[in-house]
Amino acid sequence: MFYTKINNRRYLGNKYRILTFIKQIISENCGDFESFADIFAGTGAVSSAYTDKILYTNDILYSNYLCHLTWFSDEVFDISKVANYINLYNSEIPFEENYMTQNFSGTYFSDKVCSKIGFIRENIENESRSGKINIRERAMLITSLLYGIDKIANTCGHYDAYRKNADLSESFTMCVPEPNANLKHNHCFNEDTNELVKKISADVVYIDPPYNSRQYCDAYHLIENIARWEKPEVFGIAKKMDRTALKSKYCTREAPAAFEDLIKNITAKYIVVSYNNMAKKGNDRSNARISDSQILKTLENKGDVKTFSQPLKAFTTGKSEHSDNEERLFICKVK
């Protein structure tokens, strides 16, 4: 049986490579604390460093929320049961026509792989409805499926487009997630971040919002579609579903106002903001939506601010012309 870890997934803005830097800066500036909130958690890479705390995770994408339930939920699960399902899903499954074959064959996946994905995802839902698996076990199986198809998807790392005339894999392997079984008092959310902060509090609130105009729901629409399994109509060459409700203000001109509203409503001892230094270096889609001066002004209204930086090679679909990219951490000690 193969196993998978939280970082075994491609994702825009993933902080796993600079996690040591983030942990060091937080440790040196925030002292001892009991609770940690990661409110734009993405894959959960940063959250994974704070499983010894009372942990709050949040992401607007349901696919990421399921991953958080997998890695961080405190619900009891049966790992042998999960492994048995994954053994079944890794076996040869007869071909069938289903939602995946009807909409995605020959694009991101082959006809055969589409059939298998559709069967597996439907089976997980049926097992959940019948009470044979609990909420966390369901999340673990869907997460395993998403991690498995990410390895063989015909993309450059996200799903804005697929490569035409590419050789499509005829198989994929699901692996058993390796979550911590002894977590306590953790809370996973799938909400609008600006609304969530009005309802929770933590000693340290970590903020890693989208930086530019590239919406995550566009880049990962197919992963989100499979996670939700509502079987919506898809359209366009990339086969996207309606994502209106998943669009983030942080990718638009409304980002500074949204950020100001967010910070104003946070209850915490320390606020840590992660934001890169793209500013006006690239094309309009790549440029940062919130300027350094706007970040600093907003945080200084909340408390005392320090800034730290770390060189960062950004994840792109091509060659970046910008060799001086940095990830910055703004640490605000709340008044």
pLDDT classification of 220: cutoffs 50, 70, 90:
very high
Between 142 and 212, name the one with better pLDDT. Answer: 142
Rounded percentage of the chain residues whose pLDDT exceeds 70: 93
Structure confidence at residue 331 (pLDDT): 98
pLDDT classification of 286: cutoffs 50, 70, 90:
low
Q: Average pLDDT for residues 271-300, to the nearest whole number?
A: 79
Phi, psi (rounded to 5 degrees) for 304: -90, 135
What is the per-residue pLDDT across 78-119, written as a single tens digit (0 to 9) for each? 999 999 999 999 999 999 999 999 999 999 999 999 999 999
Structure confidence at residue 284 (pLDDT): 52
* Domains of the chain, first to last: 3-334 (3.40.50.150)
Structure confidence at residue 157 (pLDDT): 80
List Cβ<8 Å contacts ≥24 apart for 15-18: 15/42, 15/45, 15/46, 15/208, 15/274, 15/327, 16/43, 16/45, 17/312, 18/310, 18/312, 18/327
Between 324 and 275, name the one with better pLDDT. Answer: 275
Distance (Å, rounded) from C-alpha 220 to C-alpha 282?
22
What is the per-residue pLDDT across 10-20, written as a single tens digit (0 to 9) for each? 898 889 889 99
User: Alpha carbon 331 to chain centroid distance?
Assistant: 23
DSSP string, 250-306: GGSTTHHHHHHHHHHT--EEEEEEEEES-TTSS-TTTS-SS-HHHHHHHHHTTEEEE
Mean pLDDT, the chain, rounded, equals 92
- On the question of pLDDT at 323 being above 80, the answer is no
Write b or e for each residue in 252-279: b if 16 or more Cβ atoms lie within 10 A of its Cβ, otherwise e.
eeebbebbbebbeebebbbbbbbbbbbe
What is the per-residue pLDDT across 157-204, written as a single tens digit (0 to 9) for each? 889 999 998 999 999 999 999 887 778 789 999 999 999 999 999 999
Q: Average pLDDT for residues 27-52, to the nearest whole number?
A: 96
Contact 64, 235 (CB under 8 A): no
Structure confidence at residue 76 (pLDDT): 92
Distance (Å, rounded) from C-alpha 18 to C-alpha 28?
16
Rounded percentage of the chain residues whose pLDDT exceeds 90: 82
Structure confidence at residue 283 (pLDDT): 45
Distance (Å, rounded) from C-alpha 198 to C-alpha 146?
31
Structure confidence at residue 196 (pLDDT): 98
